[in-house]
C-alpha cells in the first residue's frame, strides 16, 4: 500500500520544487568535481612539463660547465694534472698546505732535479692519493715522491674545498668516480645533473666557470707550484692535542702505488712553531709509521714562521736545503722511506 504522505509530497508543487533543487545541486557538484579533476590534470601536466624543462636545462648546463673545465689546465693543480699528458719528473711533492708552502721547487731545480710541488692548501690525504692515481693514469714518470705526512694522517675524510674541484670530471673518469663512490653524497653528485655545480657553487659554480672560460690567470702554478708565505705573523699558537694519527688507508694507498710503479717514496713530517701544545703528536706518528722522517724540529724560531703551522719563505728555504742535503746529496745515495 502506497503511503499517502509520499504521494502528496510527490505531486505537491513544493515537493517537485525540492526534487528539482536536489537535482540541480547534484549537477553542480558533479560539474565542480569535473572542474577540480580538470584543474588537477592541468596542474599535473604543468608540473611534469616544468620538471622536464628543468631536467633538460640541468643536463645542458651540466654539459656546458663540464666542457669548460675539460678544456682548462691552468687555474688549479687538479685540472693541471687531469687535462695533461705524460710528464717526467725527478721529484714530485704531494701533501697539504704544509707541502705547498714548505718545499721550494726552485731549489730542487737548481740541483738539476726536475720538480713540481703539487701540494694543495686545505687538502687531505684523500685528495693526495687521488692526485697520484691521476698522474699514474696519465703515464707520469716519477723517480721520487716526497709526501708531507703529519697532521693529515689524523683523518680519512675528504676536504670539501679541494675535493669539489675533482667533480667536473667525475663522469669522464672511472678513477675519480671510484675514488668517491663510497661517499654519502655520491649518488647526488654523480646521478643528478648539475647538482654538483649548484651544491659547490663557491668552488666550481658560475663564477669559477666564468673565470675559467675567460682564462683569467692564477698564481697557483707559478714557481713550480711552491707558494711562498710572507713575514706577516698569523696565529703563532697551536693546539693539536686532540689529534691522533690513524692507520690511514689513503697513506697506505700512496705507498702501494709507489711500490707498484717503482717510485722512490720519501715521507716526511714538516716543522711546527715551538709554541704548539700537543707536539708529542709527531712522536706518535713516528711510533705508528717508523718510515716517516721527522723534521718537525729542524726549524723552530718564530722568525721563520708565518703562522704556527706554516713557515715563511725564509723558513721554507732553510727546510728545503736540509731535505735536499739529506736525500739528494750527490755524495750519498738517495734515501727512501722504504729503506727504513
**pLDDT above 90 for 40:** no
Distances (CA, A) of 210 to 115, 206, 323, 326: 31, 6, 40, 45
Main-chain phi, psi angles of 108, to 5 degrees: -70, -45
Distances (CA, A) of 4 to 1, 14, 17, 257, 333: 9, 16, 19, 102, 123
Three cell numbers at 225?
Answer: 707550484
The pLDDT tens digits for 168-203 are 999 999 999 999 999 999 999 999 999 999 999 999
Its pTM stands at: 0.86
**125-137 vs 249-260: helix axis angle to the nearest 10?**
20
The pLDDT value recorded for residue 46 is: 85
User: 14: buried, middle or exposed (CB in 10 Å: 19+, 13-18, 0-12)?
Assistant: exposed
The pLDDT tens digits for 72-111 are 999 999 999 999 999 999 999 999 999 999 999 999 999 9
Rounded to whole angstroms, the Cα distance separating 318 from 339 reads 25
**pLDDT above 70 for 159:** yes
Main-chain phi, psi angles of 57, to 5 degrees: -65, -40
> What residues does 88 pair with on adjacent strands?
141
pLDDT confidence band for 19 (50 / 70 / 90): low
Among the residue ranges 3-7, 68-72, 145-149, 164-168, the one predicted with the least confidence is 3-7
Distances (CA, A) of 285 to 245, 265, 292, 294, 296: 6, 17, 8, 9, 11
Instruction: Give the residue among 117, 101, 122 at the shortest CA–CA distance from 271.
Output: 101
The pLDDT value recorded for residue 33 is: 72
Indicate the SS3 state at residue 122: coil
Amino acid at each position: 500500500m502506497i503511503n499517502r504522505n509520499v504521494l502528496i509530497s510527490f505531486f505537491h508543487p513544493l515537493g517537485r520544487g525540492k526534487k528539482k533543487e536536489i537535482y540541480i545541486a547534484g549537477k553542480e557538484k558533479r560539474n565542480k568535481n569535473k572542474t577540480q579533476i580538470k584543474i588537477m590534470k592541468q596542474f599535473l601536466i604543468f608540473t611534469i612539463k616544468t620538471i622536464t624543462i628543468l631536467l633538460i636545462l640541468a643536463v645542458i648546463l651540466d654539459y656546458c660547465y663540464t666542457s669548460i673545465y675539460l678544456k682548462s689546465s691552468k687555474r688549479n693543480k687538479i685540472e693541471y694534472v687531469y687535462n695533461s699528458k705524460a710528464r717526467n719528473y725527478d721529484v714530485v711533492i704531494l701533501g697539504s698546505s704544509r707541502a705547498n708552502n714548505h718545499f721550494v721547487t726552485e731549489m730542487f731545480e737548481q740541483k738539476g732535479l726536475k720538480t713540481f710541488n703539487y701540494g694543495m692548501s686545505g687538502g687531505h690525504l684523500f685528495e693526495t692519493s687521488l692526485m697520484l692515481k691521476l698522474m699514474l693514469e696519465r703515464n707520469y714518470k716519477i723517480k721520487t715522491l716526497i709526501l708531507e705526512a703529519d697532521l693529515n694522517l689524523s683523518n680519512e675524510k675528504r676536504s670539501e674545498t679541494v675535493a669539489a674541484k675533482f667533480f667536473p670530471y667525475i663522469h669522464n673518469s672511472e678513477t675519480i668516480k671510484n675514488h668517491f663512490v663510497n661517499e654519502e653524497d655520491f649518488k647526488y653528485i654523480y646521478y643528478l645533473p648539475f647538482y654538483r655545480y649548484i651544491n659547490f657553487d663557491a668552488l666550481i659554480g658560475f663564477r669559477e666557470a666564468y673565470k675559467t672560460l675567460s682564462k683569467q690567470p692564477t698564481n697557483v702554478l707559478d714557481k713550480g707550484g711552491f707558494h711562498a708565505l710572507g713575514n706577516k705573523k698569523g696565529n703563532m699558537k697551536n693546539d693539536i692535542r686532540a689529534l691522533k694519527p690513524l692507520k690511514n688507508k689513503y697513506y697506505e694507498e700512496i705507498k702501494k702505488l709507489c711500490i707498484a710503479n717503482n717510485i722512490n717514496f720519501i715521507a716526511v713530517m714538516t716543522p711546527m712553531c715551538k709554541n704548539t701544545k700537543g707536539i708529542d703528536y709527531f712522536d706518535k706518528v713516528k711510533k705508528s709509521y717508523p718510515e716517516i722522517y721527522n723534521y718537525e724540529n729542524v726549524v723552530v724560531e718564530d722568525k721563520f714562521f708565518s703562522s704556527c703551522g706554516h713557515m715563511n719563505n725564509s723558513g721554507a728555504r732553510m727546510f728545503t736545503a736540509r731535505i735536499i742535503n739529506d736525500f739528494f746529496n750527490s755524495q750519498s745515495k738517495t734515501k727512501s722511506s722504504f729503506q727504513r
